[in-house]
Amino acid sequence: MTLPTAQRIRLALENAIVDGRLTPGQQIDPDQVARDYGCSRTPVREALQALEASGLLIVQPKRGTFVAKLGVPELMDRFELMAELESFCARLACRRADADDLARIDTALTACEGARHDPDRYYAENTAFHQAIYRAAHNAFLETETLRLQAILQPYRRRQLQSPGRVANSLAEHRQIAAAIAASDADGAARAMTDHVLVQGERFRDLVAVVGSLSRPQAGGVALR
Partner DNA sequence: TGCGTCGTTGTTGTATACAACAGATCGGAA
Partner DNA sequence: TTCCGATCTGTTGTATACAACAACGACGCA
Contact pattern for DNA over residues 53 through 92, marking x by CB under 7 A: ------x-xxxxx---------------------------
Closest approach of Cβ 59 to DNA, in Å? 5
Question: In this chain, which of 39, 142, 199, 207 binds a second copy, going by CB under 8 A?
Answer: 142
User: In whole angstroms, how close is the CB of 70 to a second copy at the nearest point?
Assistant: 9
Residues 5 and 44 sit within 8 Å (Cβ to Cβ): no
43 touches DNA by CB under 7 A: yes
Q: Give dist(CA 1, CA 28) in Å, integer.
A: 24
- CA 153/CA 221 separation, integer angstroms: 13
Cite the DSSP H helix spans in the chain. Answer: 5-19, 30-37, 41-53, 72-96, 99-114, 119-136, 140-160, 166-182, 186-211
**Closest separation in Å from C-beta 131 to a second copy:** 12
Query: Is 128 near a second copy (CB under 8 A)?
Result: no
Binding to a second copy by CB under 8 A, coded x per residue (else -) over 9-48, reads -------------------------------------x--
3-state secondary structure of 57: strand
Burial group, residue 223, by CB count within 10 angstroms (0-12, 13-18, 19+): exposed
Catalog residues that contact a second copy under the rule CB under 8 A. 46, 49-50, 53-54, 73-74, 77-78, 80-81, 84, 88, 95-96, 135, 138-145, 221-225
